[in-house]
């Protein structure tokens, strides 16, 4: 017999391989009992998110904008405050006379891709810095809102009764305050104390760089804008706290703060992510709007809103100076909104199908 | 044999202060339990079984309040304890298993995390020791491959498995008393039997007492030594299994027993329900709460609540019929 058992010599042979019917070994069996990897909340959510094309495109756009806002300016040959004499009001890809002369000599001169402004500052880097400020405002303000709103809302919802009543009436009162008015009042009244703080107390010098206006925007966000988040979190907590696992945690002897931190807030994490993501564009929008009115960042520091505002003067000659920051704002806001929607679809258990 | 009294509830009254008025959920309930005892509390929905057990843990939900009576558990006077003191005994000396294992586990944590939480809250074990203990607990409640299961989320387990996990959590600190609040209602019959078997087995292993709350007399009969029948926030009859099943005295207990489906019934024979609905707890009647549904209701039943009649050392029943019999007996048949 030329054919060995368990090793077919001839691939065309129709003989049954006898070795297939030998008892399987324990180690071979083990390979079948691999337990499916346990899918947790995050993995499941991100898997859904990855299938959402619109959200993924938005995420890519946001990442690209972030690279341009945070990394590119570091390597960029021009800085946002550098005024180049003789290069004022250049158009897209235009060189000044002096730069042309240097080019003639064979020196490499980095082009002003988006031209320069009336003071001779490179417009491309100013837009990047403007986006940086806008994104920072959006993210920091949303973080402040998330922190205050979720703590306030969960305490109010969890304890209920009179605590809830009083805390929610405070929220109602804050809702009625006109926010723009408060921002204007605050930036006017905070201007001098903040300046004083920046100049006389060591360690607060950064206030001048960022601008009193921006700090007052943050203060306003932390004073006023958390109420929406607080209401959403409270609503979630109200339904969650009636769940059996909360009673079970109580019956185990868990303290109130532990129940709020560990059991309640983690269960609304989906809502928190989504609301925060949707809060970012609205914060950016508010910042741009205020900067447009001249209440935002301090002078050399650009923000997308203040860039648009400054461009108004020369709108007929240099329409791109208004269009470019406006498009960037729209792109950022649109991307964050779409990403927020995608996150909601991915993480909100009620929308699962 | 003298054993220690573990739980002593005297004249407990719990009311819920709702917008509609005061709902007297528990009205004058007294329970005494010895160490190692298994007590069954049966009664229909809304009879105050769960509220009784919650009040032992100091967990009467808002707007409920203990308005009268005392609860002594293992040397603690539960009524006078602060929230922090209560927390130190919850899960440690007294644990509870809830009715629905589907919702009693936090969906966002692995079960390992949740068992560990119970251990870490009350013991000084470090994380590694807590992990080993949780593996041990899962083995104890009969879950195979515990190391793998610990990494799973509640939604990956079946109802019976989840209830086993709940039991493991409840047993984490070897409590003196385990309150099982309808532990098998959400499970199917074969799993029910397994869970009950497991609980009896564990009871003997670590010598704890169990209060079993249920409306299923079948379950009670297989596990408990002593049964209390509750109706409208009152205990109407209490006694050993044999007393309740073979010598029921109260009309409500008799009704409950009649309503159980039997194996030897003829085809198409209808079950015998207890007619009527429970009384409105907002306006509890002055007399026996069961009187409106009772077939043998007498005039006095509507006016006054009967006292407990002692039938034997542990068999007590609150019914005017028994008082009447006793009266007739003492009158020597001279009507």
**What are the per-10-residue average pLDDT scores of chain A (353 residues)?**
52 74 78 64 81 92 93 87 80 80 82 83 89 89 92 92 92 87 80 81 76 77 86 91 86 88 86 86 84 76 85 84 90 91 77 52
What's the average model confidence in pLDDT over B64-79? 86
Query: Is B306 in contact with B292 (CB distance < 8 Å)?
Result: no
Interface touch B90/A243, C-beta < 8 Å? no
Nearest CA in chain A to B115: A252
The ipTM estimated for the assembled molecules is 0.77
CB contacts, 8 Å: A269 with chain B: 108
CB contacts, 8 Å: B119 with chain A: none
First-residue to last-residue Cα distance in chain A: 60
CB contacts, 8 Å: A161 with chain B: 62
Mutating which of A39, A243, A251, A259 best tests the B interface, going by the most B Cβ atoms within 10 A? Answer: A251
CB contacts, 8 Å: A165 with chain B: none
Interface touch A252/B117, C-beta < 8 Å? yes
Written in H, E and C, the secondary structure of chain A is CCCECCECCCCCCCCCCHHHHCCCCHHHHHCCCCCCCCCCHHHHHHHHHHHCHHHHHHHHHHHHHHHHHHHHHHHCCCCCCCCCCCCCCCCCCCCCHHHHHHHHCCCCCCCCCCCECCCCCEHHHHHHHHHHHHHHHHHHHHHHHHHHHHHHHHHHHHHCHHHHHHHHHHHHHHHHCCHHHHHHHHHHHHHHHHHHHHHHCCCCCHHHHHCHHHHHHHHHHHHHHHHHHHHHHHHHHHHHCCCHHHHHHHHCCCCHHHHHHHHHHHHHHHHHHHHHHHHHHHHHHHHHHHHHCCCCCCCCCCCHHHHHHHHHHHCCCCHHHHHHHHHHHHHHHHHHHHHHHHHHHHHCHHHCC
CB contacts, 8 Å: B90 with chain A: 250-253
For residue B334, pLDDT beyond 70: no
Identify the CA nearest to A120 among candidates A78, A159, A151, A153.
A78
Q: Is B253 helix (H, G, I), strand (E, B) or coil?
A: helix
Residue B147: what pLDDT? 87
Nearest CA in chain B to A267: B108
Task: Give the closest of B91, B152, B156 to A253, CB-based.
Answer: B91
For residue B335, pLDDT beyond 50: no
B201: its two tokens: 């087995």
Residue B107: what pLDDT? 84
Interface touch B103/A244, C-beta < 8 Å? yes
Interface touch B121/A253, C-beta < 8 Å? yes
Task: Give the closest of B86, B98, B156 to A247, CB-based.
Answer: B98
Please, which residues bridge with residue B123 across strands? none
For residue B99, pLDDT beyond 60: yes
Mutating which of A238, A248, A264, A349 best tests the B interface, going by the most B Cβ atoms within 10 A? Answer: A248
Question: Count of CB contacts below 8 A, A vs B?
Answer: 72
Please, which residues bridge with residue A115 across strands? none
CB contacts, 8 Å: B109 with chain A: 266
pLDDT, tens digit, for every residue of A130-168?
A: 899 889 888 888 999 999 999 999 999 999 889 999 999
Residue A235: what pLDDT? 92
For residue B333, pLDDT beyond 60: no
Interface touch A35/B98, C-beta < 8 Å? no
- The minimum CA-CA distance between A265 and chain B, rounded to whole Å, is 11
């Amino acid at each position: 017999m030329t054919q060995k058992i368990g090793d077919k010599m001839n691939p065309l042979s129709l003989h049954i391989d006898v070795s297939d019917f030998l008892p399987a070994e324990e180690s071979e069996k083990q390979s079948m009992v691999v337990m499916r990897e346990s899918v947790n909340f995050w993995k499941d959510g991100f898997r859904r998110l990855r299938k959402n094309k619109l959200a993924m495109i938005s995420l890519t756009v946001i990442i690209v904008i972030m690279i341009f806002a945070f990394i590119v300016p570091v390597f960029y040959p021009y800085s946002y405050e550098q005024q180049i004499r003789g290069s004022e009001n250049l158009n897209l890809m235009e060189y000044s006379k002096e730069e042309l002369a240097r080019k003639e000599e064979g020196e490499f001169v980095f082009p002003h891709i988006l031209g320069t402004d009336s003071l001779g500052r490179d417009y491309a880097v100013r837009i990047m810095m403007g986006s940086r400020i806008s994104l920072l405002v959006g993210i920091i303000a949303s973080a402040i809102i998330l922190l205050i709103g979720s703590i306030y809302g969960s305490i109010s919802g969890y304890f209920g009764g009179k605590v809830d009543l009083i805390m929610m009436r405070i929220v109602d009162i804050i809702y009625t305050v006109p926010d723009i008015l408060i921002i204007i009042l605050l930036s006017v009244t905070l201007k001098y104390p903040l300046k004083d703080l920046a100049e006389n107390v060591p360690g607060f010098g950064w206030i001048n760089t960022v601008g009193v206006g921006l700090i007052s925007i943050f203060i306003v966000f932390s004073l006023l804008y958390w109420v929406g988040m607080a209401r959403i979190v409270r609503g979630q907590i109200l339904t969650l706290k009636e769940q059996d696992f909360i009673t079970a945690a109580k019956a185990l002897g868990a303290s109130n703060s532990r129940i709020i931190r560990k059991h309640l807030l983690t269960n609304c994490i989906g809502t928190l992510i989504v609301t925060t993501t949707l809060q970012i564009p609205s914060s950016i929008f508010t910042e741009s709007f205020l900067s447009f009115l001249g209440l935002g960042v301090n002078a050399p520091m650009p923000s997308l809103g203040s860039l648009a505002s400054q461009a108004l003067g020369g709108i007929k000659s240099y329409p791109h100076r208004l269009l470019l920051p406006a498009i960037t704002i729209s792109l950022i806001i649109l991307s964050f909104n779409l990403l927020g929607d995608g996150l909601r679809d991915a993480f909100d258990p009620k929308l699962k199908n | 044999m003298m054993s220690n009294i573990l739980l002593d509830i005297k004249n407990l009254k719990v009311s819920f202060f709702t917008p509609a008025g005061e709902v007297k959920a528990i009205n004058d309930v007294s329970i005494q339990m010895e160490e190692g005892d298994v007590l069954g509390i049966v009664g229909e929905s809304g009879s105050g079984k769960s509220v009784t057990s919650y009040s032992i843990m100091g967990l009467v939900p808002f707007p409920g309040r203990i308005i009268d009576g005392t609860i002594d558990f293992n040397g603690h006077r539960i009524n006078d304890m602060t929230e922090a003191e209560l927390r130190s005994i919850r899960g440690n000396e007294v644990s509870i298993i809830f009715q629905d294992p589907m919702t009693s586990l936090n969906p966002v944590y692995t079960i390992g995390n949740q068992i560990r939480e119970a251990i870490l809250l009350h013991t000084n074990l470090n994380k590694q020791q807590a992990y080993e203990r949780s593996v041990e607990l899962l083995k104890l409640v009969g879950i195979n491959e515990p190391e793998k299961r610990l990494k799973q989320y509640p939604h990956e387990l079946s109802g019976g498995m989840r209830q086993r996990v709940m039991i493991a959590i409840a047993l984490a600190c070897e409590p003196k008393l385990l309150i099982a609040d309808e532990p098998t209602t959400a499970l199917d019959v074969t799993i029910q039997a397994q869970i009950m078997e497991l609980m009896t087995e564990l009871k003997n292993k670590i010598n704890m007492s169990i209060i079993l709350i249920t409306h299923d007399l079948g379950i009670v009969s297989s596990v408990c030594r002593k049964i209390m029948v509750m109706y409208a926030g009152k205990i109407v009859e209490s006694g050993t299994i044999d007393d309740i099943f073979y010598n029921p005295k109260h009309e409500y207990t008799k009704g409950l027993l009649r309503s159980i489906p039997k194996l030897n019934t003829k085809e198409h024979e209808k079950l015998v329900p207890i007619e009527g609905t429970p009384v409105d707890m907002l306006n509890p009647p002055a007399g026996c709460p069961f009187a409106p549904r009772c077939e043998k209701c007498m005039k006095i039943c509507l006016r006054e609540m009967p006292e407990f009649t002692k039938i034997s050392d542990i068999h007590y029943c609150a019914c005017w019929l028994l008082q009447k019999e006793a009266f007739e007996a003492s009158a020597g048949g001279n009507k």
